[in-house]
Amino acid sequence: MMNIGKHDALLVVDVQNDFLPGGALSVAGGDRIVPVINRISALFTTRVFTRDWHPADHVSFSGHPQFLDQSWPPHCIQNTWGAQFHADLKIDAKDRIVSTGDNPQEENYSSFHGTDLEAWLRRRDIRRIFIAGLATEYYVLTSAMDGLQAGFEVLVLEDAVAGVDVPPGSAARALQKLRDSGVHILSSGDLLSE
């Protein structure tokens, strides 16, 4: 069992209705990670929950004339059901909520980009970040890489993430890329006593 202490933070990425079954951009099986996240959450005194928080005219949405690389169906629009966290996800008043994707002219997939997350973690003397959430090959991958680049030790909880997996195998390739880059991949069982 791994010891969790005051220098550790849990980063829960985008566990929102639109990324879960029935949502606008659902991740198959995304809801299965909620009980895992809830079990490990109690181990951490520092918890951050990120949310994709798009304006209705976000550049990444299908049909937007200025977005040439890739577009998505409208999702996680601010103040809608789709942007809300999963109803069973346990979030306390003391937990930090970080909104991403709120610039209508910019798409990014990192919890660090355009936020004060790095500075906020440093003010709390956080050294290790444990990442859970959605989707493995987008926000989880990019957030983990950015956290590593910022000098944090980064650990991804494999049974607490889920991927879009299109094309097939992309989620597994993302985890391998993280391993190859120095991110530790482990399971929630490594944190919980038997």
Question: Which CATH number do you get for residue 92?
Answer: 3.40.50.850
**pLDDT tens digits for range 9-64:** 999 999 999 889 999 888 989 999 999 999 999 999 999 999 988 666 655 655 54
Domain assignment present for residue 75? The answer is: yes
Domain assignment present for residue 90? The answer is: yes
pLDDT of residue 159: 97
Taking the C-alpha atoms of residue 18 and residue 54, their distance in angstroms, rounded to an integer, is 12
Domain assignment present for residue 2? The answer is: no
Domain assignment present for residue 131? The answer is: yes
Domain assignment present for residue 130? The answer is: yes
CB-CB contact of 131 with 138 (8 Å)? no
**pLDDT tens digits for range 71-98:** 666 667 889 998 999 999 999 999 999 9
State percent of the chain over pLDDT 90. 64
Domain assignment present for residue 62? The answer is: yes
The better pLDDT of the pair 71, 5 is held by 5
The answer to whether residue 168 scores a pLDDT higher than 50 is: yes
Poorest-confidence range of 4-13, 110-119, 140-149?
110-119
Domain assignment present for residue 91? The answer is: yes
At 166, is the secondary structure helix, strand, or coil? coil
The answer to whether residue 187 scores a pLDDT higher than 50 is: yes
At 42, is the secondary structure helix, strand, or coil? coil
Taking the C-alpha atoms of residue 160 and residue 31, their distance in angstroms, rounded to an integer, is 10
The answer to whether residue 70 scores a pLDDT higher than 60 is: no
Taking the C-alpha atoms of residue 13 and residue 110, their distance in angstroms, rounded to an integer, is 9
Does this model's pTM top 0.85? My answer is yes
pLDDT of residue 67: 42
Domain assignment present for residue 1? The answer is: no
Number of domains in the chain: 1
Q: Which range marks the domain in which residue 102 is found?
A: 8-190
